[in-house]
Amino acid sequence: MSTSTSSTYRKVFWSAGFGWMFDAMDVGLLSFILVMLKEEWRLTPSEGGLLGTMNMVGMAMGAFLGGYYADRIGRRPVFLYTLALFGLASVGSAAATGFLSMLVLRFLMGLGLGAELPVASTLVNEFAPEAKRGRAVVLLESFWAFGWILAAVIAYFVMPAYGWRTAVLIGAFPLLYAVAIRRNIPESPAFVRRDDDRVTVRDIFTVYRKPTIALWSVWLAISFSYYGMFLWLPSVLVDKGYTLIKSFEYVLLMTLAQLPGYFSAAYLVERWGRKPTLAAFMAMTAVAAVGFGASESDGYLLLYGALLSFFNLGAWGALYAYTPENYPARVRASGAGFASAFGRVGSIVAPFLVGAFIDNQVGYLVIFGMFTVVLLIGAFLLMFLGTETRPLR
């Protein structure tokens, strides 16, 4: 890799990473804000779940459109403008006057975020040197953990004293700075030199049918479990009898475990392979989910909550590294975007479903047991239908 190419790769990686971090911080704040909005706006658990669901509806549409247009007009413009949309809607959400206005703004935020994430991982994948391509994308995903940690810190230190609107503004403004950084990012060389006109979007569902089924299954399982569990985590702890401050403190401690999860996955995807790493992390998330649902004591809640963070977020990192490698450059962003969009069906259903279960007094062991079953099915389909994509050494 030449010096200029290496410099461009680092610029792409860090600009994508910081944008990803601030995205995560804003999404993470929603899980803490829900606790306050339920009191301030007298929201039912189902209405709280609907806020999370509307965000995911936007993400599903954004992932589909973002991936499609990134293969037609280029990665760079989608990479730039979708983050701008997310940032502006995030700033606006601080001024939301009620449930309906927040619903609309969360949809717009989801639209921008859903389009950005698969395109950002595709762009980093295409700029990274082959020998560390998988590790680079997993490390890019690790910025999501830093964002959630920042969200937990802001929730713990800012929200009790200054309210949720101040916390949202703190989380939103850095996104606009990230947009300014991205203006200097060049177009992906893989997009510029695409030379196989015979490859079409239809091939995603014909020539690449088996990996597509595997990817869509895994995206559905991981999205369903992640958003169903983590958006409700502070509320679950409050419902188990912890104070608001104590629940925020516990979630912060659990969130710290995301970082070693990402770093472990970054090492294993290059050493062990993309597919076995992803399947193993999904299976261990399934074990941790049922353990968390059954936990009552402080020690077990923290232990299984940390394990959920470690393995679920490590699985996300491996998934983002694995997905674009299943498709050629001409349909790479579309393939990644379509898989992400299908996965968002799970993230649309899960937050609302958990809220409905809580409304009907369904136990947490049953709720988290549901996530265990979904994750194990996804891991099985990956191992049966998925293809290993790690480059031969």
Per-residue pLDDT tens for 35-68?
788 888 888 877 877 887 788 889 889 999 998 9
Reply yes or no on whether the pLDDT at 384 is more than 90.
Answer: yes
Mean pLDDT of 16-32: 81
Reply yes or no on whether the pLDDT at 290 is more than 90.
Answer: yes
Nearest to 62 by CA among 350, 351, 341, 343: 341
Cα-Cα-Cα-Cα dihedral sign, residues 176, 150, 30, 138: positive
Q: Are 307 and 315 spatial neighbours (Cβ–Cβ below 8 Å)? A: no
Percent of the chain with pLDDT over 70: 96
pLDDT digits (tens, 9 = 90+) for 238-274: 777 777 667 777 777 888 888 899 999 999 999 999 9
pLDDT of residue 352: 78
Report the alpha-carbon distance of residue 321 to residue 133 in Å, rounded: 8
Q: Which is higher by pLDDT, 138 or 180?
A: 138
Mean pLDDT of the chain: 86
Reply yes or no on whether the pLDDT at 5 is more than 70.
Answer: no
Class of domain 3-183+201-385: mainly alpha
Residues 328-343: b if buried by 16+ CB within 10 A, e if exposed: ebbbbbbbbbbbbbbb
**Residue keyed to tokens 């990402």:** 262
Residues whose CB falls within 8 Å of the CB of residue 43, separated by 6 or more in sequence, listed in order:
34, 37, 51, 99
Report the alpha-carbon distance of residue 17 to residue 144 in Å, rounded: 8
pLDDT digits (tens, 9 = 90+) for 133-165: 889 989 998 898 888 888 888 888 888 888 889
Nearest to 181 by CA among 12, 38, 20: 12
Q: Worst-scoring range by mean pLDDT, 56-60, 81-85, 178-182, 226-230?
A: 178-182
At 15, list the tokens.
């600009």
Q: Are 190 and 311 spatial neighbours (Cβ–Cβ below 8 Å)? A: no
Nearest to 287 by CA among 315, 262, 249: 315
Reply yes or no on whether the pLDDT at 4 is more than 60.
Answer: no
**In which band, very low, low, confident or very high, does the pLDDT at 359 lie, cut at 50, 70 and 90?**
confident
Q: Measured at the alpha carbon of residue 292, what is the angle toward residues 287 and 297, in degrees to the nearest 5?
A: 135
Question: Is 0.85 topped by the overall pTM?
Answer: no
pLDDT of residue 392: 63
What count of residues does the chain have? Answer: 393
Domain boundaries defined on the chain = 3-183+201-385
Longest CA pairwise span in the chain (Å): 60
Q: Is 188 exposed, middle or buried (0-12, 13-18, 19+ CB in 10 A)?
A: buried
- Whole-Å CA distances, 197 to 153, 192, 221, 324: 49, 13, 33, 19
pLDDT digits (tens, 9 = 90+) for 308-351: 999 999 999 999 999 999 999 889 989 999 999 999 888 888 87
